[in-house]
Amino acid sequence: ILNGDFVKYFAVLVVKSGKKKFDFRTQKVRYDEETNELSLSYSSKVSIDNLKEDVFTPYLILIDKKNTNKISIIENGRKIYDLPTRR
């Protein structure tokens, strides 16, 4: 990520930690022009279980800012967080 990217994009970071390693896949990014809300839908699944030590598994995505008021983060079909944006 270059420093100038933060002018045009939101950086959304999800981190899982523990004795499991996860694989992440972006399923859908949808922007609603009427409400100026964006939804980020992704899947996460355990790829390695029962590790001896804790690990951190990051998932980072850059999203075009547009006129976004809120980003809804949806993991495995379940909304986990609504992230208000400051513009």
pLDDT at 83 over 80: yes
Cα–Cα distance between 71 and 28 in angstroms, integer?
13
Confidence category of residue 87, pLDDT binned at 50, 70, 90 = low
* Model confidence, pTM: 0.83
Cα–Cα distance between 75 and 87 in angstroms, integer?
25
DSSP state, residue 8: H
- Look at residue 39 and give its three-state secondary structure: strand
Confidence category of residue 8, pLDDT binned at 50, 70, 90 = confident
51 phi/psi in degrees, rounded to 5: -70, 155
pLDDT in tens, 27-73: 999 999 998 899 999 999 999 999 999 999 999 998 888 788 899 99
Cα–Cα distance between 66 and 29 in angstroms, integer?
13
